[in-house]
Amino acid sequence: MSHNIVLLPGDGIGAEVIYAAKDVLEAISKKYNRTFQFSSYDIGGVAIDQHGTPLPDETVEACKQADAVLLGAVGGPKWDNNPSDLRPERGLLGIRKALDLYANLRPVKGFPKLLHASPLKEEIIQGSDLLIVRELTGGLYFGQPSERIDNGNAVVDTLSYTKREMERIIDKAFQSAALRNKHLTSVDKANVLESSKLWREIVEEKKSEYPDITVEHVLVDAAAMKLITNPTQFDVIVTENMFGDILSDEASVLTGSLGMLPSASLAEDGVGLYEPAHGSAPDIAGQGIANPVAMILSSAMMLRYSFDMNQEANEIEVAVESVLNQNYHTADLKNEHGTLVNTSEMTDLIVKAINQ
Ligand code: IPM
Ligand code: MN
Locate the ligand 1 atom nearest the alpha carbon of residue 275 and give its number: 9
Cα 250 to middle of ligand 2, angstroms: 10
Question: How much is the pTM?
Answer: 0.96
pLDDT at position 334: 80
Interior angle at CA 50, CA 45 and CA 53, nearest 5: 60
Task: State the average pLDDT for the chain.
Answer: 96
**Most informative mutation of 89, 132, 258 for ligand 1 (most atoms within 8 A of CB):** 89
Cα 337 to middle of ligand 2, angstroms: 31
Given pLDDT bands bounded at 50, 70 and 90, which one contains residue 117? confident
- Is the pLDDT assigned to residue 197 strictly greater than 90? yes
pLDDT at position 111: 87
Cα 93 to middle of ligand 2, angstroms: 12
Residue ranges of the annotated binding site for NAD(+) are 76-89, 279-291
- 321 burial (CB, 10 Å; 0-12 / 13-18 / 19+) is middle
Given pLDDT bands bounded at 50, 70 and 90, which one contains residue 179? very high
What Cα–Cα distance (Å) separates residue 218 from each residue in 135, 200, 226, 234, 337? 17, 10, 10, 11, 39
The CB of 92 under 6 Å from ligand 1? The reply is yes
The CB of 11 under 6 Å from ligand 1? The reply is no
The CB of 245 under 6 Å from ligand 1? The reply is yes
Distance CA 323, CA 319 (A): 6
- Which of 73-77, 115-119, 223-227 has the weakest average pLDDT? 115-119
Domains of the chain, start order: 1-102+261-356 (3.40.718.10), 119-254 (3.40.718.10)
Q: Which ligand is nearest to the CA of 84?
A: 1
Q: Are 125 and 231 in contact (CB under 8 A)?
A: yes
| Residue nearest atom 9 of ligand 1, based on CA coordinates | 277
- Is the pLDDT assigned to residue 74 strictly greater than 90? yes
Distance CA 54, CA 93 (A): 10
- Which of 13-17, 98-102, 111-115, 137-141 has the weakest average pLDDT? 111-115
- Is the pLDDT assigned to residue 232 strictly greater than 80? yes
Other C-beta atoms lying within 10 Å of the C-beta of residue 162:
10
Distance CA 193, CA 183 (A): 24
Cα 134 to middle of ligand 2, angstroms: 11
pLDDT at position 30: 98
| Residue nearest atom 4 of ligand 1, based on CA coordinates | 245
Mean pLDDT of 238-260: 94
Q: Are 10 and 46 in contact (CB under 8 A)?
A: yes
| Residue range 261-300, pLDDT digits in tens | 999 999 999 999 999 999 999 999 999 999 999 999 999 9
Cα 74 to middle of ligand 1, angstroms: 9
Other C-beta atoms lying within 10 Å of the C-beta of residue 200:
16
- Is the pLDDT assigned to residue 257 strictly greater than 90? no
Locate the ligand 1 atom nearest the alpha carbon of residue 96 and give its number: 12
Q: Are 11 and 89 in contact (CB under 8 A)?
A: no
Mean pLDDT of 307-312: 97
The CB of 250 under 6 Å from ligand 1? The reply is no
Which residue blocks in 207-308 are alpha helix, DSSP H?
A: 220-229, 241-251, 293-305
- Is the pLDDT assigned to residue 103 strictly greater than 90? yes
**Residues identified as active-site:** 141, 189, 221, 245, 249
Contacts 24+ apart (CB under 8 A), 157-161: 159/193, 159/195, 159/242, 160/195, 161/135, 161/195, 161/198, 161/199, 161/240
pLDDT at position 113: 86
